[in-house]
Amino acid sequence: MVGWVLLMVFPRRRWPAEVVSGWVIPALFAGLYVGIIAATWGKSPGGFSSLSDVALLFTSPWLLLAGWVHYLAFDLLVGSWMVRDARRRGIAHLWLVPLLVLTFLFGPAGWLSYLLLRAALRAHPQRLSAGRTH
DSSP letters along 19-87, please?
Answer: IIIIIIHHHHHHHHHHHHHHHHTTSSS--SSSHHHHHHHTTSHHHHHHHHHHHHHHHHHHHHHHHHHHH
DSSP 11: T
The pLDDT tens digits of the residues spanning 36-47 come to: 999 998 888 888
pLDDT score at 134: 41
The more confidently predicted of residues 132 and 77 is: 77
- Single pTM value for the model: 0.82
The pLDDT tens digits of the residues spanning 59-93 come to: 999 999 999 999 999 999 999 999 999 999 999 99
List Cα–Cα distances, 93 to 10, 48, 80, in angstroms. 10, 39, 13
Task: Please determine, for residue 15, whether its predicted confidence score (pLDDT) is greater than 90.
Answer: no
Q: Phi and psi for 8 in degrees, rounded to 5?
A: -80, -35
Task: Please determine, for residue 30, whether its predicted confidence score (pLDDT) is greater than 90.
Answer: yes
Give Cα 97 to chain centroid, integer Å: 13
For residue 35, what pLDDT band results from cuts at 50, 70 and 90? very high
CA–CA gap between residue 56 and residue 44 (Å, rounded): 8
Q: Please, which residues have CB within 8 angstroms of residue 29's CB and are 6 or more apart in sequence?
A: 69, 70, 72, 73, 76
Q: Taken in order 87, 92, 93, 99, is the CA torsion positive or negative? A: negative
Contact between residue 84 and residue 17 where contact means Cβ atoms under 8 Å apart: yes
